[in-house]
Amino acid sequence: MNSPNQIQAEELLSVLFYSPNATAVYKDEDIRILNANEAMLKFWGKDMKIIGKDFRSALPELEEQPFFEILRNVWLSGETFTAKDYPAVLLTNGVPEKFYFDFEYKAILGNDGKTKYILHTASEVTERKKALKIVEEKSRSEQKLINDLSALNEEYLATNEDLISKHEELFTANSELLKIKKELLKANHTLSQSENRFKILVEKSPVAMASLLGEHFEVDIVNDKALQIWNKDRSVVGMPLSEALPELKDQPFIDILKEVYATGKPYYGKELKTMIEKDGELIECYLNFVYQPIFDEHQATASILVVATDVTEQVQARESISEIKNRLEIALDAGRLGSTEINLSTGTMESTNQFKHNYGYRTEDEFTYLDLYESILPEHRRRIKDLVKESIKKNEVYRAEYPVKWKDGSIHWIQAHGRARFNKDGIADRMVGMNADITDKKLAEQRKDDFLSVASHELKTPLTAVRASIQLLNRIKEKPYSQTHIRLIEQSDKGIEKMCVLIDDLLNMSRLGQDQLKLEYQTFNLHEMLEKSCHHIRVEGKNKLILKGEESLEMYADEHRIEQVVINLVNNAVKYAKGSNEIHIFTETDCDHVKVSVRDFGQGIPEAVIPHLFDRYYRAEHGGKSYSGLGLGLYICLEIVKKHSGKIGVNSKIGEGSTFWFTIPKKKADEALLAIG
Ligand code: ADP
């Protein structure tokens, strides 16, 4: 290529002048514009007038811009300056506008090496610059987008990482959960196993069991035994207890459950009475039970386990035992029976008070087996000892009756029973015994024995007389009628009469003993009856019989029995009041009763004897005088009067005589009752 120095400046200028590129040529230090082509002038917005002018004055608008300085520097240094996309503010129609240029300030050097010209070539690159700018901007926005995206991406990545770590965490958590789940499942299994076991335990339990849930005590689990006690079926499951068993309303159980629920303390009930409804009726039963609170994980009561046993039979058995014991005590008391337990090896005795009393000992006295033995009359001791020995040997009950002497010297009869008790080795170590004071019974027996001997004697006496008379009559039966005949016949008649009276008494007594005395009520005239019944006395003529009272008096009673009473009283007056010539019979009446009294004027009866006169077999002493009789007459009178709901008694004064009396209600007792009703 040709060097510019080899080209003539003018030639070059003319070449450049026609160049489509903007071109200008400068010279000197003040950068005078030697030439500028059309294109350059267009850029500058100038015309040819500026040729020959220095740069600064030709283009004052570029003053503030670095071009002049650069040109000057090129001039002075001889170094070409090349710029690309360089901005320059130029006036377009007088308005400053920014353009971009690629330009070169080429120093064209002379032969001396100094700058001869500066060739300025420039091409506008504003469009390109703009495009570039757009591209740049685009690229910038793309970059931004890229940046944003990358930020997003980073975020995404970060998030992703987070997610991954979360995922990992989740994974770990999940596996933990899985573990827990497994454990839970296991625990649940164990729990359900233990729950099952619990259920089975409850159901198979030989005692009644129920689990009551929550504060309303809902029946959760209940076994058949409990249902049996409650008298309910399985429909009660799930019900609150107060609904399941409404009869508990006025009973203490719900309150006790509430207390257990609130305090968490178990409750033990012993033999508590419970009323349970059965077929519409409340039945009594007794229960031993425990209310055991079951706690949840917060230690609060979740449910209450009820375990109960029905002890009704035991309680009732015990009650009936104590009832029997009570009755036994009453019986022992009523029968005045004493009981004792003797320790055979030590001789000590534990006796009831009655047992001691029966031997004449007081409650506070000590009473040993030796005391007992020594109180037995000596002649009976051997026999009793042998009986006891024998009963132990044969393990049988021994029974004995024996007389004992009390400390006050009185004799009493004891009836004793006893039986040995054996220890586990089969040795008799104790003796359990009972006793009773049978003195009265013995006396009665004695009286009965005495009575039999009296009765036989009393019957035998007239019988002997009759027998003797009959024998005599027999001897003289061939002989004609004589005074002896009359006497003997009369004698026999008397004897037979006596025997009849005695036999009548005996028969009456026997009837009374069998309660066979039946009354035949009727209304009769009392005076007429008395006249008739005492006729025999008047006939005999030994005693004067005086009858006093209203003659028309009527009586409603068994006439025959009342007559029997009167005859008895009059006969006694004749028999026991020998010195009494007169016998008075009075009849009286008030609104309710008729009273009959028989008065004699004999010796009278001692006061001490009076209470016994109406006893069976009782016969009083009469100073060695003997009177025939069985001691039954007054007893029979008493029974007849009692049967009529009347009263009988005696008033007597020694030396003045006695008045025996009886009263009979005017109407029969039950008729009187009817009248009142
Ligand atoms: P008995 O049938 O043997 O005569 P009672 O029962 O009639 O017996 O009389 C009982 C006793 O009452 C008699 O033994 C007698 O001592 C006494 N006694 C009954 N009546 C009289 C009387 N009028 N005067 C005195 N003693 C009498």
Residue nearest ligand 1's atom 15 by CA: 620
At 300, phi and psi to the nearest 5?
Answer: -95, 150
Residue with tokens 């409603």: 556
To test ligand 1's pocket by mutation, which of 450, 585, 607, 613 has the most ligand atoms within 8 angstroms of CB? Answer: 613
Inter-residue contact 643 to 628 (CB < 8 Å):
no
Residue 211 has what DSSP assignment?
E
Residue 9 CA, ligand 1 centroid: distance in Å: 211
Q: How far is 423 from 11, CA to CA, in rounded Å?
A: 168
Same domain, 69 and 181: no
**Is there a single domain that holds both residue 283 and residue 388?**
no
- Integer Cα distance of 84 and 664 in angstroms: 175
In a domain, 328, yes or no: no
Is position 4 within any domain? no
Report the pLDDT value the prediction gives residue 588, as an integer from 0 to 100. Answer: 95
- Token pair recorded at residue 541: 């003529």
Same domain, 456 and 557: no
158 and 288 part of one domain? yes
In angstroms, what CA-CA distances link 676 with 260, 522, 669, 671, 673?
A: 65, 21, 11, 9, 5
Q: Is 447 helix (H, G, I), strand (E, B) or coil?
A: helix
Amino acid making up residue 195:
E
- Greater confidence (305 vs 127) lies with 305
Q: pLDDT per residue over 162-209, tens digit each? A: 667 766 776 776 777 677 667 767 766 766 676 777 777 777 777 888
Shared domain for 470 and 421, answered yes or no, is no
Of 458, 532, 526, the residue nearest 498 (C-alpha):
458
Q: Which atom of ligand 1 is nearest to the CA of 598?
A: 23
Whether ligand 1 lies within 6 angstroms of the CB of 600 is answered as yes
Note whether 74 and 120 are within 8 A (CB). no
DSSP-assigned beta bridge partners for residue 26: 33, 118
Whether residue 577 sits in one domain with residue 503: no
In ligand 1, which atom is closest to the CA atom of 619?
14
Q: Is 573 in the pocket of ligand 1 (CB under 6 A)?
A: yes
Distance 618 CA to ligand 1 centre (A): 8
The closest-lying atom of ligand 1 relative to the alpha carbon of residue 634 is 6
Element (H, E) at 174: helix 126-204
CA pair distance 410, 377, nearest whole angstrom:
11
- Decide which of 281, 316, 351 is a domain's last residue: 316
> How far apart, in whole angstroms, are the C-alpha atoms of residue 97 and residue 44?
11
CB atoms within 10 A of CB 61: 14
Band (227; pLDDT cuts 50, 70, 90)? very high
- Ligand 1 near 638 CB (within 6 A): no
- Give the separation between CA 628 and CA 574, rounded to whole angstroms: 12
Q: Whole-structure pTM over 0.85, yes or no? A: no
Q: Please state the φ and ψ torsions of residue 36, each to the nearest 5 degrees.
A: -155, 135
Mean pLDDT of 432-449: 88
Neighbour-count burial for 454-475, b at 16+ CB within 10 Å, e otherwise: bbeebbebbbebbeebeebbee
Shared-domain flag, residues 198 and 286: yes
Burial letters 354-370, b for 16+ CB under 10 A, else e: bbbbbbbbeeeeebebe
Question: Does any domain span residue 325?
Answer: no
What is the C-alpha to C-alpha distance for residues 419 and 432, in angstroms, rounded to an integer?
Answer: 6
> Residue 559 C-alpha to ligand 1 middle, in angstroms?
23
Contact 597, 586 (CB under 8 A): yes
For residue 658, what is the enclosing H or E element?
strand 657-665
Is the Cβ atom of 359 under 6 angstroms away from ligand 1?
A: no
Structural domain range at position 19: 9-124
Cα–ligand 1 centroid distance for 493 (angstroms):
24
Q: In CATH, what number is assigned to the domain containing residue 288?
A: 3.30.450.20
**Token pair belonging to 516:** 């066979």
Across 249-268, average pLDDT: 93
288 and 141 fall within a common domain: yes
Tell the residue nearest (CA) to atom 14 of ligand 1: 619
Instruction: Give me the mean pLDDT over the 54-75 stretch.
Output: 92
Task: Tally Cβ neighbours within 10 Å of residue 79.
Answer: 12
User: For a pLDDT cut of 70, what percent of the chain falls above it?
Assistant: 89
What is the structure's pLDDT at 11?
Answer: 59
Output the CA 442–ligand 1 centroid distance in Å: 24
82-100 average pLDDT score: 86
Say how far apart CA 162 and CA 155 lie, in whole Å: 10
Q: Where are the beta strands (DSSP E) in 504-589?
A: 522-525, 544-548, 554-557, 582-589
613 lines ligand 1 (CB under 6 A): yes
What value does the mean pLDDT take over residues 48-72?
A: 91
Q: Verify that 390 and 508 share a domain, yes or no.
A: no
Is residue 323 one of the residues assigned to a domain?
Answer: no
Nearest CA to ligand 1 atom 23: 573
Asked if the structure places residue 148 within a domain, the reply is: yes
Listed residues 257, 285, 316: the one ending a domain: 316
Residue whose pair of structure tokens reads 């005492």 in the numeric block: 534
Verify whether ligand 1 is closer than 6 Å to residue 414 (CB atom): no
Q: Angle CA(438)–CA(444)–CA(447) in degrees, nearest 5?
A: 140
Residues 424 and 483 occupy one common structural domain: no
CATH number for the domain harbouring residue 493: 1.10.287.130
What is the per-residue pLDDT for 634? 95
- Assess if residue 1 is contained within a domain: no
pLDDT of residue 188: 66
Whether 658 lines ligand 1, by a CB cut-off of 6 Å, is yes
* CA diameter of the chain: 247
CB 286 within 8 A of CB 301: no
Q: Compute the average pLDDT of residues 203-217.
A: 86
Domain count, the chain: 5
Residue 282 shares a structural domain with residue 355: no
455 lies in a domain? yes
d(CA 271, CA 285): 9
Separation of CA 614 and ligand 1 centre (Å): 9
Residue 330, pLDDT > 70, answer yes
In a domain, 199, yes or no: yes
* Residue having the nearest C-alpha atom to atom 13 of ligand 1: 619
The confidence band for 572, taking pLDDT boundaries of 50, 70 and 90, is very high
What does the pLDDT average to over 326-335? Answer: 82
**CATH number of the structural domain spanning residue 539:** 3.30.565.10
Q: Out of 190-199, 307-316, 426-435, 518-527, which region has the weakest mean confidence (pLDDT)? A: 190-199
Quick one: pLDDT at residue 318?
Answer: 85
One domain, residues 589 and 633: yes
Q: Which of 102, 124, 146 finishes a domain?
A: 124
Separation CA 500–CA 13 (nearest Å): 213
pLDDT in tens, 347-364: 889 999 999 999 999 999
Alpha carbon 494 to its chain centroid, in Å, reads 85
